[in-house]
Every structure is written in structure tokens, then in C-alpha cells.
Amino acid sequence: MSCVRRRLVPFLASAVTLVGAGCASAPPAVYQSESFQRESPFVTWSTREPAGACELGKRALLSQGYQIDGSDAVRVKGQKLFQPKPDQGVSLDITLVCLPSNVGAVVYANALQTRFALKAASTSTGVSVAGLGSISLPWSADKEAMVKVGEETVTDPDFYRRLFALIEALDGTSVGSADLGSAEVPR
């Protein structure tokens, strides 16, 4: 073995060890924590047909100030915007999908929380003047915009329990006296 090879082999071995050590300290991929358990906070059942179950879901979201998007009978999308601080915003998007089941309908819910932050960006301006050519001027304009800084699926089982409890409460209860007397909730 030549002198160059003898020096190169230990160098390559230490490089491989360092690269391997760097990979070992990397966080695990998020899909590795997916357990796909049989019990799920994202699902509930209804004795109504799918369209009726989603109608109750739509009413539940509307009653809480969500803006409803789309008019599909078995899929409801709702969005509500929050501003926890003057320079922060949060969007909560809820999707309900209602499918047939042996008891009537199964309702799947998914909530996505998107966080925004107010960011400033400055720009400079250039001007072209006929006869003189191009002139760069140091004018600057500050623009502020809400920029998405994070997004995650809401996985809190209590959140979904509250949502499904409201949907269930709308299924067959009477409207309270403060609302419309003893009129029944339309089905």
C-alpha cells in the first residue's frame, strides 16, 4: 500500500464516523411517531344520514363564528381567525367529512392551526429619467405583511370532544327560551 493510501484510509474512516454521528443526532422523522391507533379523537358517529350529520356540523361551526366554505353536503370546511397579539395571527381551519356507516354516519374532523407573524421588509427604488439615464435613489419603503410561520394539525382530544359534544347537542335538543322560545331546531 502506498504512503498516500495509508494516510487516506484513516481519514476516510474518520469522515464516515463523523457523518454517521451527525445522522444519529438528527431528530427522528415525524412519520415515525404515527401510531395509527384504532381509537381516535378525530371521529364520532351519528344516527343521521351523512348529509344530515354534516348539516349539524355546519350549524355547530356557524354557531361558534366560523366562516363556512363550500356547499358539499358531506364535507364542511370552516375557518375562524384569531389575533392573540397585535403582531400575531392564528387561523383555525376545521374540516368535517361525513360518510355512511352501519349506524347512520361516521363524522371525521380535522383541525389545522396556522400561525402568522407580522414581518417588515424594506425595498429600495430606482428611477429612469429620459435624457439622463437611470438614477438609483436610496428611497425605501417599509412594507408589513403577515407571514406564515408555522402550521400543525390539532391533536388535542378535548378539542374534538367539545366539537362533537356541540354537534350532538344540536341533534334533537330544543332551542332555549332565550333564543326562540320552545321552537325546535330544524333538522
Q: Is 65's pLDDT higher than 90?
A: yes
Q: Is 64's pLDDT higher than 70?
A: yes
Count of beta carbons in the 10 Å neighbourhood of residue 66 = 19
Gap between the Cα atoms of 108 and 169, Å rounded: 17
Q: Is 178's pLDDT higher than 50?
A: no
Q: Is 180's pLDDT higher than 50?
A: no
Per-residue pLDDT, averaged over 146-174, amounts to 91
Least confident of 5-14, 64-73, 105-114, 174-183: 174-183
DSSP state at residue 140: E
- Map out the domains of the chain with their CATH numbers: 41-175 (3.30.310)
**Contact call for residues 123 and 57 (beta carbons, < 8 A):** no
Least confident of 16-30, 85-99, 137-151, 173-187: 173-187
**Contact call for residues 113 and 88 (beta carbons, < 8 A):** no
113's grid cell: 392551526
Q: pLDDT digits over 6-61, tens only?
A: 555 555 555 555 555 555 678 888 888 888 988 899 999 999 999 999 999 999 99
Q: pLDDT digits over 107-156, tens only?
A: 999 999 999 999 886 655 666 666 656 655 555 556 788 899 999 999 99
Per-residue pLDDT, averaged over 155-176, amounts to 85
